[in-house]
C-alpha cells in the first residue's frame, strides 16, 4: 500500500466543510477532494426527482475523475434521497448524512426536541421514519427553512447577515409547554451541514440555552471507521493533508475560502483549485 487514501466529500455547497474539518482531524494522512455543487445550489429549491437525476450521475463522474477510496455525502438532502441509488449504481463505499434524531432524543431531558433542516429534509419520509423509530417518547418539532443554507454561505463569504433573518428561521424550534412554560425545548438537531456555520448566531439569538447537535463528528467517526479497514491509521505519514477543491460551476474559490481550507491542518500549499 504505497499511497494514502483519497476521500471525496460532496455537498450542495460549502456546508460540508463542517464535516470535512472533522474528517481531517480523524484522518490527517488522507488526500481530500471537496466538491460543492454550486451550479445546482440550493438543493432545497428543487424537487426530489430533479435532485436524484442531478446527483446520481454527477457522483459517477466524480468517481471516474478522482478515483476516491471513500465518498462522503455531506448533505442531508442528498443523503436522504440518493444513498440507495448510489450504492446500487457504483462499486464504491459511501458514508451519508442523516438527521441525528436518535442521539438527540436519547439525550433530551425535557423530551422536547426540534429538528432544524431544509424543507425537503423535514418533510421526507426518511426523517419521519427516524422519528417513529427513535423518538423514545419525545415530542419532535420539525422546522424546515428555505433560507438558512444560503445565509450560511453568505456569512462564510464575508457578507453581513442580519440577526432578524436568522432569528425568524430558528424561532419555531423553541417550544414551551406546561404551567408557566416550565417545559421547554432543550435539544435541537442541525439537520443540514450548512447550519453549524451559523452556530454562533444561533447560540446568541436563542431565547434560552439548548443543546445544538452537529452531526459532523459522528460522520467523521463513521468515515474513519470505514476507511481504516483498508487504510490503517499510522500506515502513512501524518503531514499536511492534500486538498483539491471543485465548484461544479467551474468557479475558482474565493480568497476567504482558500484561507478556510488552509486552516484545515495548514494545507495551503497543497490546495489545488478546480481540479
Residue 25 shares a structural domain with residue 128: no
| pLDDT tens digit sequence for 14-68 | 999 999 999 998 998 899 999 999 999 998 889 999 999 999 999 999 999 999 9
Query: Coil, helix or strand for 233?
Result: coil
Q: Please report, to the nearest 10 degrees, the dihedral formed by the alpha carbons of residues 167, 168, 172, 178 taken in order.
A: 70
User: Rg of the Cα trace of the chain?
Assistant: 19
Cα separation, 78 vs 230, in Å, equals 26
119 and 186 fall within a common domain: yes
Whether 149 maps to a domain, the answer reads yes
111 and 194 belong to one structural domain:
yes
Give the residue numbers annotated as catalytic, written as ranges: 75, 192
Whether residue 205 is found in the same domain as residue 255: no
Residue linked to cell 432544524: 116
Q: Give dist(CA 112, CA 177) in Å, integer.
A: 9
Whether 17 maps to a domain, the answer reads yes
Per DSSP, helices labelled H in the chain are: 17-26, 48-66, 76-89, 101-107, 119-123, 125-134, 148-156, 163-170, 199-205, 216-228, 255-262
Q: Domain for residue 1, yes or no?
A: no
The answer to whether residues 82 and 159 belong to one domain is no
Question: How high is the pLDDT of residue 273?
Answer: 40
| Whether the predicted pLDDT of 233 surpasses 90 | no
Same domain, 45 and 175: no
| pLDDT at residue 99 greater than cutoff 90 | yes
215-226 pLDDT per residue, tens: 999 999 999 999
Query: Residue 180: left (phi > 0), alpha (psi -120 to 50), or beta?
Result: left
Whether 78 maps to a domain, the answer reads yes
198 with 115, same domain?
yes
Q: Verify that 115 and 149 share a domain, yes or no.
A: yes
Q: DSSP characters for 188-207?
A: EEEESTTGGGGHHHHHHH-S
Residue 141's domain spans which residues? 101-214
Average pLDDT of the chain is: 89
- Chosen domain end from 178, 196, 214: 214
Nearest alpha-carbon partner for 192 in 76, 54, 275, 80: 76
Q: Sorting pLDDT into bands at 50, 70 and 90, what band is 113?
A: very high
Q: Same domain for 88 and 38?
A: yes
| Number of structural domains in the chain | 2
Residues 146, 43, 35, 193, CA torsion sign = positive
CA distance 135 to 195: 22
Q: The CATH number of the domain where 170 resides is what? A: 3.40.50.1860
Q: What is the pLDDT of residues 142-195, one digit of tens each?
A: 999 999 999 999 998 889 999 999 999 999 999 998 765 679 999 999 999 999
Tell me if 244 is assigned to some domain: yes
Q: Does residue 221 sit in the same domain as residue 191?
A: no
Residue 119, SS3? Answer: helix
Same domain? For 15 and 151 the reply is no
Amino acid at each position: 500500500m504505497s499511497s494514502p487514501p483519497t476521500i471525496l466529500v460532496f455537498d450542495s455547497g460549502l456546508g460540508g466543510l463542517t464535516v470535512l474539518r472533522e474528517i481531517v482531524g480523524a484522518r490527517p494522512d488522507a488526500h481530500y477532494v471537496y466538491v460543492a455543487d454550486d451550479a445546482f445550489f440550493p438543493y432545497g429549491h428543487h424537487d426530489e426527482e430533479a435532485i436524484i437525476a442531478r446527483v446520481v450521475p454527477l457522483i459517477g463522474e466524480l468517481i471516474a475523475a478522482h478515483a476516491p477510496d471513500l465518498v462522503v455525502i455531506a448533505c442531508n438532502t442528498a443523503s436522504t434521497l440518493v444513498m440507495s441509488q448510489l450504492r446500487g449504481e457504483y462499486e464504491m463505499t459511501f458514508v451519508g448524512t442523516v438527521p441525528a434524531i436518535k442521539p438527540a432524543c436519547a439525550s433530551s431531558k425535557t423530551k422536547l426536541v426540534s429538528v432544524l433542516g431544509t424543507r425537503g429534509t423535514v418533510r421526507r419520509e426518511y426523517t419521519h421514519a427516524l422519528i417513529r423509530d427513535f423518538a423514545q417518547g419525545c415530542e419532535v418539532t420539525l422546522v424546515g427553512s428555505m433560507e438558512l443554507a444560503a445565509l450560511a454561505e453568505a456569512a462564510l463569504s464575508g457578507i453581513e447577515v442580519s440577526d432578524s433573518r436568522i432569528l425568524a428561521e430558528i424561532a419555531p424550534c423553541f417550544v414551551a409547554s406546561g404551567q408557566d412554560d416550565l417545559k421547554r425545548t432543550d435539544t435541537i438537531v442541525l439537520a443540514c451541514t450548512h447550519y453549524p456555520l451559523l452556530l454562533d448566531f444561533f447560540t446568541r439569538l436563542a431565547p434560552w440555552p439548548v443543546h445544538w447537535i452537529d452531526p459532523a463528528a459522528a460522520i467523521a467517526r463513521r468515515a474513519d471507521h470505514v476507511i481504516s479497514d483498508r487504510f490503517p491509521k499510522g500506515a502513512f505519514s501524518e503531514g499536511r493533508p492534500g486538498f483539491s477543491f471543485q465548484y461544479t460551476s467551474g468557479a475558482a474559490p474565493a480568497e476567504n475560502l482558500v484561507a478556510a481550507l488552509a486552516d484545515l491542518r495548514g494545507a495551503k500549499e497543497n490546495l489545488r483549485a478546480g481540479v
